[in-house]
Structures are given as structure tokens and as C-alpha cells.
Amino acid sequence: MIGTSAGGLEALSRLLPALPTSLKVPIFIVQHIAPTSENYLTKHLDSLSKIKVKEADEKEKIEPGTAYIAPPNYHLLIEEDHTLTLTLDEKVNYSRPSIDVLFESAAYAFKGKVIAVVLTGANHDGAAGAALIKKMGGIVIVQDPKTAQVPVMPEATMKSTQVDYVVSIEEIPPLICQLTK
């Protein structure tokens, strides 16, 4: 699970291309974007990455080695049968899609066997969801606030829960690979 906001395009453009095709887990991404955005983000990241990057579809069955991006103006949730749901429910933390909504649904769907990654961003979205993931036995990684374009989201997550790793963006892909072996 990856959550990001301000500065996220640059962070994701550095993180996703470093993930290998042999990745055995799916990646889910919420990037705060305007409700009317085209799918430039998805196309751009897919063109840079070795793994498949796609916009999440309603009721889609998740596959390992694929990165699913929440579409503009939709919350992305993971169901217990490991399919995806898109909703137009109210904004959470002024955002739709919301990182907290994704993280909280993943915590329950995967029974805490989740790695939450909180990157650069300008609000507190993701902090509560990361705390739930940690409480349920998952792992929380935050981008080192000193290296984040906007440090508010990583800092908020660090205040909300005991994070497992505080690392630079370059250290995240090998850490994900190590933790998912």
C-alpha cells in the first residue's frame, strides 16, 4: 500500500521503476489528484516501470506484481475476497481517493499482513490507516521527512504510530522486496 499527495508524482516515478518484475505482491496506490484528472499518472508510471501499473477497476481480482492506482474521485477499497471496490463515498481528510480508506480496508482484507508506505504529502491522510495496519500486525514504512518534498504526511504517520522504517525513497523498493520474500 502506498499513499502520497503533494510531490507524489516525483516520488512514485523514482519508487515504482525500481521494483522488479519478480515482485510477488500487488501494490495499491492512492495519489491525491484532482477529480477531473486524466489517467496521465497511470500511463506515465506504467511507461517507466517493469511491473504493470494500471488504474484500478471495480470488482477486479488482484494479481501479484501489479500496481493498482485509485482512479480520480473514487475511494479504492480491498474486499475480503481480494477484489477491488471503487466508491464515491464522502471525502476523508478532504480527499477522494483517501489513503486512510485504502489502508483501513487492506488491514481487514489481509488480516494485518500489509506493508503501508507513506510518502510525501501535505495533510494527515494515511496516518490513521497506517496506525490500524500497525495495530493489526502489519509493517509501516515512511519516507524520511528530510527527503520528502512535503514532509507533513510522513511526520503525521510517525506521530500516530510506531513506524518500522524511516527511509529515503531509494531505500523503499529494496526494503519492500526484502520484506515480501
| Active site positions, annotated | 5, 32, 125
DSSP code for 174: H
Q: Using CA atoms, how far apart are residues 61 and 71, in angstroms rounded to an integer?
A: 16
Q: Which residues pair with 82 in a beta bridge?
A: none
Q: Quickly count: other Cβ atoms within 10 Å of residue 181's Cβ.
A: 6
Strand bridging mode 115-118 / 139-143: parallel
Q: Using CA atoms, how far apart are residues 1 and 114, in angstroms rounded to an integer?
A: 7
Supply 61's cell numbers.
Answer: 481480482
Q: What are phi and psi of 69, to 5 degrees?
A: -105, 135
Q: Using CA atoms, how far apart are residues 146 and 103, in angstroms rounded to an integer?
A: 24
Q: Using CA atoms, how far apart are residues 144 and 142, in angstroms rounded to an integer?
A: 6
